[in-house]
Amino acid sequence: MMEPILEGAVEVHSYLGPGDERTLADDVLDGLTRPLKELPPKHLYDARGSQLFDAICELPEYYPTRTERLILETHADDIVARTGAVELVELGSGSATKTRVLLDAMAAAGTLGRYVPVDVSATTVHSVAELFCDEYRGLSVYGVVGDFERHLAHLPPPAGPRLVPFLGGTIGNFPPGSRRRFLRGLGKVLGSGGHLLLGTDLVKDPRVIEAAYNDSAGVTAQFNLNLLHVINRELGANFDVDAFEHVAFFDRQREWIEMRLLATEPQRVRLEALDLEVEFAAREELRTEISAKFTIERLRGDLAAAGLDLVELYTDPDELFAVSLARCA
Ligand code: SAH
Ligand code: AVI
């Protein structure tokens, strides 16, 4: 059943209650009591973390954003023509700067109906909803503040042919097994005739990749360290943030970047909200993100294993980044 679109209407629905704040407490309890400490990257994106990520996107070393934008600018008209999309349901939308390229192409084709941003960062969903509603006449915005791993059942029914952008290489934050499971689950979101538009960073010279995650201005380090500020504030913890260092390296075997936080000296951290104490040995590391880099073969394999057909694969002349258009097989 198609849902009628109310022209120009903005609504934002939140599925992250105070007790459910991005599942931080559960993830910290689980992740900091393991022998190899680890936290999922979604907790990097409070209001400050989202701003820091936007600053990363502007860095000279961080090639993914400008490359993906170039690919979208080159092929947006083709993507819109092939999909006939009247609505965009964007996963991990963030500040959605590249999304404008798609919205502009839909507007030019006369098919722009609705935009549905989905993100755990409440500040970005609210600001993008307001901004786009002002900028695109007649556009209806249905914002979802939620976790794309848990809350996709709350999406509104399709308003017509749907395009689901999942940009920025965020799919690379999933380890391989859960990546395929997640992609398989997107079938329901696509609906009949819907398409996925998936941005993936490609395998390349490790020096280029490592430079992108170890920028000379230290913005990525601030982004990574901000996670400890989030835990201090939200769980009443006392991490000595100055006693941690940002680490990022390319794992050549697994073909992914890892971001970690390294304790420069031994630390005992108290987390009031969890009534928990956690020890860090000197040089002990906490893994905060993996960011997988893809070969075209791996991309094809992942899409096929998830029951998705690759319709078209767009890339840049230097093959730094890829944007895949796919639909249910
Ligand atoms: N799509 C944008 C932003 C990428 S940054 C771009 O391409 O530039 C990753 C975004 O995904 C952030 O805005 C972050 O808040 C969001 N995010 C990360 N994990 C998430 C999750 N589990 N559910 C929903 N949003 C998530
Ligand atoms: C959103 N995500 C895919 C970014 C990436 O490149 O892995 C986040 C990021 N981490 C460090 N820099 C940027």
Query: At 135, is the secondary structure helix, strand, or coil?
Result: helix
CA-proximal residue: ligand 1, atom 6 (nearest):
168
Plot region of 285 (φ>0 → left; ψ -120 to 50 → alpha; else → beta): beta
Mean of pLDDT values over 59-77:
98
What does pLDDT average to over the chain? 95
Residue nearest to atom 5 of ligand 2 (CA): 291
Angle between helices 296-305 and 176-190 (to 10 degrees): 60
Q: What HEC string does 9-43 produce?
A: CEEEEECCCHHHHHHHHHHHHHHHCCCCCECCHHH
Residues with CB under 6 A from ligand 1: 42, 45, 50, 53, 57, 65, 92-94, 98, 119-121, 124, 147-149, 167-168, 170
Residue 55 and residue 34: Cα distance in Å, rounded? 32
Residue to substitute in 42, 54, 66, 155 for testing ligand 1 pocket (most ligand atoms within 8 angstroms of CB): 42
- What would the DSSP string read from start to end of 275-327? TEEEEE-TT-EEEEEEEE-B-HHHHHHHHHHTTEEEEEEEE-TT--EEEEEEE
**Ligand 2 binding pocket includes 169 (Cβ within 6 Å):** yes
User: How much distance in Å is there from the Cα of 120 to the middle of ligand 2?
Assistant: 15
- CB-ligand 2 contact for 220 (6 Å cutoff): yes
Amino acid at site 322: A
Q: What is the pLDDT of residues 263-315, one digit of tens each?
A: 999 999 999 999 999 999 999 999 999 999 999 999 999 999 999 999 999 99
pTM, rounded to two decimals = 0.96
49: Cβ below 6 Å to ligand 2?
Answer: no
Provide the 8-state DSSP code for 148.
T
Ligand 2 pocket test, pick from 246, 291, 323 with the greatest ligand atom count within 8 Å of Cβ, gives 291
- The confidence band for 4, taking pLDDT boundaries of 50, 70 and 90, is low
The tens digit of pLDDT for each residue in 171-216 reads 999 999 999 999 999 999 998 899 999 999 999 999 999 999 999 9
When pLDDT is cut at 50, 70 and 90, the band that residue 18 belongs to is: low
Instruction: Quote the CA–CA distance of 86 and 90 in Å, as a whole number.
Output: 13
Pocket flag, ligand 2, residue 258 (CB < 6 Å): no
Beta carbon of 291 within 6 Å of any ligand 2 atom: yes
The C-alpha atoms of residue 243 and residue 248 are separated, in whole angstroms, by: 17
CA of 149 from ligand 2 middle (Å) equals: 18
Comparing CA positions, the residue from 94, 111, 116 lying closest to residue 46 is: 94
Q: Ligand 1, atom 19: nearest CA belongs to which residue?
A: 42
The response to whether residue 290 sits with its C-beta less than 6 Å from ligand 2 reads no
- Residue 17 — pLDDT band, cuts 50, 70, 90? confident
What are the angstrom distances between the C-alpha of 271 and each of 140, 149, 233? 42, 26, 10
What are the DSSP E strand ranges found in 151-194? 162-166
